[in-house]
Amino acid sequence: MRVVAKFGGTSLGSGDRIARAADSIEAAVANGHEIAVVASAMGSTTDDLIDDITFEASDADRAEIVSMGERTSVRMVKAALTARGVDATFVEPGDPEWPVVTDEYGEVDVSATRERTEALVSTLDETVPVITGFLAEGPDGAVSTLGRGGSDTTAVMLGSYMDADEVVIVTDVEGVMTGDPHAVEGARNVGEISVDELRNLSFRGAEVVAPSALSYKDEALDVRVVHYQHGDLLTGGTTIEGTFENLIDLRERPLACLTVAGRSIRNESGVFQSLAGALGDAGINIDVAASGLDSITLYVDAEEAGRAENILHQQVIERPEVASVTVDEPLAIIRLTGGELPTQPGVIHEIVDPFAEERIQIHDLVTSATSVAIVVAWSDRERSLELVQDLF
């Protein structure tokens, strides 16, 4: 197998951990696998270097300073491999075989990076390249970075361009867990998780794999997360399934919008629970939920509008915090996910501007970490879909 093994800062946080990393690489090489290593800066080195730049420094100088974290760790890992009799070389920006290059806008130059990565692949049967994660080389040869957590991006991108069988992300948790094991008790490994599920989590704190890295995952490339204590690079951990998708979807059937208003909603606990629970007990699925200052809006299939209205009206009668319920229909919902949605400032403005120009009323705009849902009148659905498709 051809494997890209990425060691995060935590898995290289001390000499002992580096030795452990080298042991696992040595074992994989001894079993006949081609291994390329991507290394992050040891422990919290990157944070420490950034904190220490307390003076005025240009972006170029900052990148040079910060790059020393990864430049040091590749030397450490290379040395530990050499000491075990494994043929290894470290690769950093400035080297002739350095693969990751960016264009004048700081974006990865895909064709140049692919070409250089292919050259690196031809050496994998003889040596283990230990590549600095997180770093890139600009068109002028100067070092730049791929952004915080960028080593995951280096690893998945190189895995894809190397036609690797697998990218293994080695970190300080057993994989993607049911919750942050450093914060909750009894967290368990989820075993498997889809790219989209993980992107939603990783944009909001679970940085097991940086979200930008997952954009490079294709169907043919397996990505797995393992604990550095596991010792075996080739088994265990959490498998990340599927591929990164750009999706624009218009719900085929109309929705009804039920709005419950009440001034005390935001001060009382359990209001949302009792409204959603009452619909749930009746087998009515809530497609989207939105909340205002003094209201909660729940979208359900239009065919369920009458039943849902009666159920919520019963809640209005029973709960003093809610004053009244009303229904609006038929409505359409367009969902979009993927692309640069979560990272591009101003993207919402770009999405809604054409609606304003066309005088199409947006009933609701609901966003998550990785998606946007736009609710419009059912009669506006086709034009709205065209507007969104024109954008992406």
Ligand X SMILES: Nc1ncnc2c1ncn2[C@@H]1O[C@H](COP(=O)(O)OP(=O)(O)O)[C@@H](O)[C@H]1O
Q: Which residues bind ligand PHD (CB under 6 A)?
A: 8-9, 40-41, 46, 69, 133-134, 148-152
91 - beta bridge partners?
Answer: 131
The site partner of 69 among ligand X, ligand PHD, none (C-beta below 5 to 8 Å per kind) is ligand PHD
The site partner of 134 among ligand X, ligand PHD, none (C-beta below 5 to 8 Å per kind) is ligand PHD
Is the bond preceding 330 in cis, omega lying within 30 degrees of 0? yes
Q: Is residue 147 involved in binding ligand X (CB under 6 A)?
A: no
Q: At its nearest, how many Å lie between ligand PHD and the CB of residue 148?
A: 4
Interface mask (CB under 6 A) for ligand X, residues 2-41, using x and -? ------xxxx------------------------------
Query: Which is nearer to ligand X, 182 or 359 (by Cβ)?
Result: 182
Tell me how far apart the 2 most distant CA atoms of the chain are, in Å.
77
Query: Which is nearer to ligand PHD, 127 or 153 (by Cβ)?
Result: 153
The site partner of 11 among ligand X, ligand PHD, none (C-beta below 5 to 8 Å per kind) is ligand X
Catalogue the long-range contacts made by 204-209 (C-beta closer than 8 Å, 24 or more residues apart).
204/369, 205/180, 206/176, 206/180, 207/149, 208/169, 208/171, 208/173, 208/175, 208/176, 208/238, 209/152, 209/156, 209/169, 209/176, 209/240
**Nearest in space to 212 (alpha carbons), one of 139, 145, 156:** 156
Query: CB 287: neighbour CB atoms within 10 A?
Result: 18
Q: At its nearest, how many Å lie between ligand X and the CB of residue 176?
A: 5
222 - beta bridge partners?
Answer: 166
Q: Is residue 108 involved in binding ligand X (CB under 6 A)?
A: no
Q: Is residue 162 involved in binding ligand X (CB under 6 A)?
A: no
Contact 88, 35 (CB under 8 A): no
Q: Is residue 257 involved in binding ligand X (CB under 6 A)?
A: no
- Interface positions with ligand X (CB under 6 A): 8-11, 149, 171-173, 176-177, 179-180, 182, 201, 205-208
